[in-house]
Amino acid sequence: MDNARKLKRNNKRKLIPYGRQSIERDDIEAVIKTLKTNWLTQGPKVIEFEEELAKYCGTKYAVAFANGTAALHGAYYAAGLQKDDEFITTPNTFVATVNAGVFLGAIPRFADIELNTGNIDVKLIEKQITKKTKLIVPVDYAGQPCDLDEIIKLAKKNDITIIEDACHALGAKYKNKKIGSVADMTVFSFHPVKSITTGEGGSVVTNNKEFYEKLKKFRTHGITKSDQWTYEMTEPGLNYRLSDIHASLGVSQLKKIDKFIKKRSKIAKQYNQELKGIVGIPKMRSGRTSSWHLYPILLPKKLAKNKEEILNELLENNIGSQVHYMPAYWYDFYKKNYQKGLCPNAEEFYSREISIPIYPNLAWSDQAHVVSTLKKILNNKLK
Ligand SMILES: *Cc1c(COP(=O)(O)O)cnc(C)c1O
């Protein structure tokens, strides 16, 4: 039976998704207001959103993009990533992190992760550095910042740019600094499951003026100066702009981010208490706070082989979970160039990981249903 039919059969309870947006009346009103103005795109709302986002992150600049993937592409471009250059990243990420570099002709190298955080293991980055390494791209998995100080040290020593893929981590903190203000460039996504949403949307934040200018140019066709009748184009770019409609939603959502993250943290705390000792729960490193984009659990090793059954049984109980992530080099496009076993921790993590529901408006009763159902399923399997 396919998933949709399974759900129909068991529709006493509404599906609890693994993540979702929180849209309130003021968000809706903000968008409607924009629709009534003359500016649907390239107007004042994008500028306002960028200013507010930069202020929130404690950075000089923010450049809004059509989505997080476009923002990654822009950041890699601005850093000068070119054909045959190399960049180091984690296999435990959404494919966009890797694809964006491959689009520029560059070659990804993977450093394995720590099993208990899902984040890139700094000790393994150095081994991947070569003369061709242009970028390190740490991903703040599930919303917990990576070991940024150590990565910065490595990068400085080797003259490498750090682009932090913080698509999970808007609102997280590293040693009391907001994520966004630490790396050379930081990338966010505003997809509906992320910290805040614009529908589709993304951004790069930076303190570097040169990067800022390149990002702006790349976002709009490579056009540099324009006056009323003419413009100049120095290098081909793309149309990666965010519209004012989307940006007005972003301005409204950004006002609530701290509230959203507080709610996510409470849910995570509850899961920590309920699930400790039953499954692997995220290990928090000192000196950082998470934005709790995901709540990833690791199944006991001996249940790894039952993962698909467990996912299906959760779904039969109207619990929508997800898996984050299959190692990026396992995808068809990449697998011919990388050996299985390249990153053993990432492979084991994938075999045991399930992301269970977490989002600001997850009801306590729904969370209780997730916990009790999960416990029941695991108990049955362990019998
Ligand atoms: C969501 C996400 C992206 C891509 O963002 P989009 O806005 O969906 O394009 C990139 N990297 C990571 C880690 C993500 O979670």
Please state, for a pLDDT cut of 90, what percent of the chain lies above it: 94
Residue range 245-271: mean pLDDT, rounded: 98
Domain end, chosen from 200, 231, 254, is at 254
166, 179 Cβ separation under 8 angstroms: yes
Residue range 51-56: mean pLDDT, rounded: 98
| Shared domain check, 344 and 212 | no
Mean pLDDT for all residues in the chain: 96
Please give the pLDDT value at position 292. Answer: 98
Residue range 250-258: mean pLDDT, rounded: 98
| Shared domain check, 269 and 202 | no
| Shared domain check, 220 and 98 | yes
What's the CA-to-centroid distance between 97 and ligand 1, angstroms?
Answer: 7
198, 249 Cβ separation under 8 angstroms: yes
Please give the pLDDT value at position 9. Answer: 53
Query: Does residue 136 register a pLDDT over 90?
Result: yes
Domain end, chosen from 238, 254, 270, is at 254
Please give the pLDDT value at position 10. Answer: 54
What's the CA-to-centroid distance between 151 and ligand 1, angstroms?
Answer: 21
Indicate which atom in ligand 1 lies nearest the CA of residue 93.
13
CATH at 222: 3.40.640.10
What's the CA-to-centroid distance between 222 and ligand 1, angstroms?
Answer: 24
Query: Does residue 261 register a pLDDT over 90?
Result: yes
Q: Give the DSSP letter string of 338-354.
A: S-TTSSHHHHHHHHHEE
Number of other residues whose CB lies within 10 A of the CB of residue 376: 12
What's the CA-to-centroid distance between 95 and ligand 1, angstroms?
Answer: 8
Please give the pLDDT value at position 11. Answer: 55
Question: Strand (E) positions, the chain?
Answer: 61-65, 86-89, 107-110, 133-137, 161-165, 173-174, 177-178, 185-189, 202-206, 223-226, 231-233, 288-289, 295-298, 353-356
| Shared domain check, 332 and 303 | yes
Please state, for a pLDDT cut of 70, what percent of the chain lies above it: 97
Residue range 223-249: mean pLDDT, rounded: 92
Indicate which atom in ligand 1 lies nearest the CA of residue 191.
7
Query: Does residue 228 register a pLDDT over 70?
Result: yes
Digit-coded pLDDT (tens) for 148-203: 999 999 999 999 999 999 999 999 999 999 999 999 999 999 999 999 999 999 99
Residues with CB under 6 A from ligand 1: 67-69, 93-94, 96-97, 139, 165, 167-168, 189, 191, 202
Question: Which one, of 299, 308, 301, 312, lies nearest residue 375 by Cα?
Answer: 299
Domain that holds residue 142: 25-254
Terminal CA-CA length for the chain: 26
